A and B are shown apart, each in its own frame.
Chain A
Amino acid sequence: MSHADTPPHVVLETHGLTKRFGGLVATDDCALEVHSGEIHALIGPNGAGKTTLLAQLSGELLPDRGRILFEGRDITRLPVHGRVAAGIARSFQITSLFNRLTVRENLALSVQARTGHSFDFLGTVEDESDLETGALEAAERVGLLDVLDQTVGTLSHGRQRQLELGVALACHPRLLLLDEPMAGTDPEESERMGTLILSLRGRHTVILVEHDMDAVFRLADRISVLVAGRLIATGTVDDIRRHPEVIAAYLGDDEESEGRAHPLPGHTGIGA
């Protein structure tokens, strides 16, 4: 996607990022570079440390070593809410919404976080037009305008996944971390989610962790491959498809049973 003559603008970079859980190295000296406006997929076999890496980017986990720079600023020690304020929002692999609240309220809470006043104890909340506007804008982007006043718990799984994305979008992030946005969706819902993610390109920088390889190869501008905590390759879709180490990691793992290792589309004849 990037033009060959202009050097890409790096939005997020990690240097020597390392995280250990006891003897297990979940993130091993990772140097990730994400360019402005791209959809950057993070793939790897199960247990490769994708979710752990994402958690360090979002601030839920602190790395043992290494640094994270966002737009040139060191955010390694910034707490989760500080990173949201800096412009990074995430969605969860397992839908985590306010199930007893309406879609509108879910979205408005994101807007309130961004517009502040949450320590305004006594301020009357008469003028809520900012929340209303922000909630409607986000609902429109993820196609949930028709269920604004429905309680989240009553929505279908696919719609909850859309809201999961909408809640993150309502934070107005410049960088979006999407943790398996298609998890558990049926083909039709997955298709809709794919279209949604494509619509983000250019407006947001996206880091996408996804198990559905067809989707990854369709959506991503660039791909980074994690194996056992190590970043073994980063490149365009074509680069990755041909990368010998990647092929070995995905296809050479005999003990990995179905659903654990994912065949690369284009190599096995599926998709792309």
Chain B
Amino acid sequence: MNGLSFAAAHPGHTPLTDGLPGPWTAIAVAIALTLYPLVINALGEPFYLNLGARVLVFALAASALNLALGYGGMISLGHAAFFGVGGYAVAVMGQQGWLAAWMSFPVAIVLAAGTACLIGLVSLRTRGVYFIMITLAFAQVFFYLAISLPQFGGDDGLPLRVRSLLPGLSLADPMAMYYFVLFVAGLAFVLLYRLVASRFGRALVAIRENERRMAAIGYPVYRLKLMAFTLSGGLCGLAGALLANVNNGVTPHMLTWHQSGLLIVMVILGGSGYFWGGLGGAAIFLLLEEVLSERTEHWNLFLGLLLLFIVLAAPNGVMSLRGRLRRRAQAAKEGAPAA
């Protein structure tokens, strides 16, 4: 593995290594996600193909947020803006007849990253609650822009009558759609892995740990954070472009602050600062929502209770449980009581 060989050269786990996945987990995740449609088909439940694609899209969006929030310590309540910009880019281009994915997807990514860079330029000068409020305020601007401009479909949003075009593959087929999302998200996860395992990623985590010290030993903290925020926004835009396809269109709901909050909930649920935190959180949230809403109309209540239970049982997210079990096992081995 090309991981943090420096930190991994010695035993023990610190925040610099906690956020790096092992190769076996990655392989297991890849195999499970590749086989998922085959299992679903064998069970005769094709509807779950679409659910699987949505989980992957939100996993990507939440993982993009995790780069800024979990690794970089930037609690953004405005990632719906980047998500929405990506989605609207594909939908608006689709309406103008620009359907080729190789055109609309890069445009979606660049627009979302550009938006993130501009918002970051201003908001990264603030800290803490101010940062949360400023990112929220910026995202609200995009929401009101979307509902007030008729070109963007106003309150109704924009339908995507024909899904993005790919050479040799029709996304109208749910199976093809799923594998396309898996392919794109997979590429994005490889990129994210390279980011967090690089010297850049290590600097980012260290900024989260102690920003003042990082400046004092010579890191251009603001520029590093801005870069992470921009990359995070770009990847969130890519997720938005995928969602526009999966949902056959976009609605202003993509841009609401609920959406930003939902992404934060997914990150925290899965494990902020853990590589698979975004995927874990998105999967748990969307699957619970699906299962519960089929059974009761008060599903929101039960969903809330279950989320509360999960957060109480795993305060640092589901992905942190492994480290906790490992530490407990180690403590038991050393004969000390588990912490």
Contacts and interface: CB of A to CB of B under 8 A. Distances in A.
Interface of A: 58, 60, 79-81, 84-85, 89-90, 92, 96-102, 104-105, 108-110, 112-114, 117-126, 128, 131-132, 148-149, 151, 167-168, 170-171
Interface string B1-40: 0111111011110111000000000000000000000000
A92 B11 CA distance: 29
Interface residues of B, number: 40
B227 to A, nearest CB: 7
B198 A125 contact: yes
Dominant SS at the B interface?
helix
Interface string B187-228: 000010011011111110010011011111111110110010
A101 B16 CA distance: 7
B198 A167 contact: no
Given A101-B15, A125-B199, 12 more contacts: A79-B220, A81-B215, A90-B216, A92-B216, A101-B16, A113-B203, A118-B203, A121-B201, A123-B199, A125-B6, A125-B202, A149-B10
Contacts of B4: 125
A70 to B, nearest CB: 15
A110 B216 CA distance: 9
Nearest to B200: A121
A163 to B, nearest CB: 11
A98 B231 CA distance: 25
Contacts of B199: 112, 117-118, 120, 123, 125
A104 B10 contact: yes
Nearest to A114: B218
A98 B210 contact: yes
B198 to A, nearest CB: 5
Nearest to B17: A105
A81 B219 contact: yes
Which of B199, B206, B209, B210 has its CB near the most chain A CB atoms (within 10 A)?
A: B199
User: Considering the complex of A and B, which 10 residue pairs feature the smallest CB-CB distances, nearest first?
Assistant: A84-B218, A128-B6, A124-B2, A113-B218, A80-B215, A118-B203, A110-B217, A121-B200, A122-B194, A98-B209
Contact of B14 (A96, A100, A128): A100
B6 A108 contact: yes
Contacts of B212: 96
Interface of B: 2-7, 9-12, 14-16, 191, 194-195, 197-203, 206, 209-210, 212-221, 223-224, 227, 231
A97 B210 contact: yes
Contacts of A98: 206, 209-210, 213
14 contacts: A84-B218, A100-B14, A101-B15, A102-B12, A102-B14, A104-B10, A112-B199, A118-B219, A119-B227, A121-B201, A128-B5, A132-B9, A167-B213, A168-B216
B200 A119 contact: yes
Given A112-B202, A119-B227, A125 B5 contact: yes
Which of B15, B216, B223, B224 has its CB near the most chain A CB atoms (within 10 A)?
A: B216
Nearest to A132: B6
Nearest to B221: A81
Nearest to B195: A121
A100 B16 CA distance: 9
A113 B219 contact: yes
Contact of B209 (A101, A123, A148): A101
Contacts of B194: 121-122, 124
